[in-house]
Structure 1
Amino acid sequence: MKTLILLLAALLWGPIAHAQAIPDDQVPPLAFVALQQLHPQARNVKWKRVQGWYQASYMQGTAPRLVRFDMNGEVQATGHDIALGTLPLPVQHTLATYYPTRTICQAYEVVNTHTGGLTYEMATCETNFSRTITLTGDGRKLPRRRP
């Protein structure tokens, strides 16, 4: 029984571990240098590994921003903080319909630098279980990218 509980815990919290903060020395040097070159004004930089990418979340002036790099330091996506009330109506509708009990604490508008595709990423802020909900502008849920 104890083994089953441990296995279930690993399966449930395993995907969350991939989005944990990582120290600067675990960031590929090309990604680290690319951030410094592209955004020299970035402050309070926090790195994490997200779906096979290295994400830098930082402040530029008073605005929270993010940028995702691959191992070679190439930008995969950029994003900025967006007020929950300014999310597109289809996104707000999907959140209200399918996630009525979730508390959303932050939202980002994210642009895929290769396709120009725009998505909205909302972070839930429950204490025991937190996750990111990714939706297109028309409110469709996107599956998680597998590395």
Structure 2
Amino acid sequence: MSLPDGLQHVTTLQKLEILSCTNLMALPEWIGNLTSLHHLAISGCFNLTSLPQEICHLTSLQILMIESCPNLMNLPGSMDNLTLLQALTITEFPNLTSLPQGIRSLTSLKSLPVDNCPNLMALPEWIGNLTSLEELIIANALI
């Protein structure tokens, strides 16, 4: 139902995958203290409804994958501190109707696959400002 609190003290952790934790309801705010984290994957967490804004404190993060979390309502609004993020994967996110404004500040973003987001209706104009973007995949959306 939750991550163990002791994990917050593993400040050298570089990769964290939270997979098929069907009873996980929320990520703790202390996840933002894992400042060495380069890779964060969250997949198959069916009861997860939100992500803490503190994810935006993961300044070393290069890869963020959010997959198969159908009850997730949104992504963190501000992503300004994720200046090293190179890959953001969003799949099976039925509540997503538009790409979050916070993505526009991800100037190092190279890869943005968005798949099985059936209510995604349009791409924002600012998508053209992601000058490092090399791969954009939009599949199974209303676009």
Q: TM over 0.5: same fold?
A: no
TM-score (norm 2): 0.23
TM-score (norm 1): 0.23
Bigger fraction of residues in strand: 1
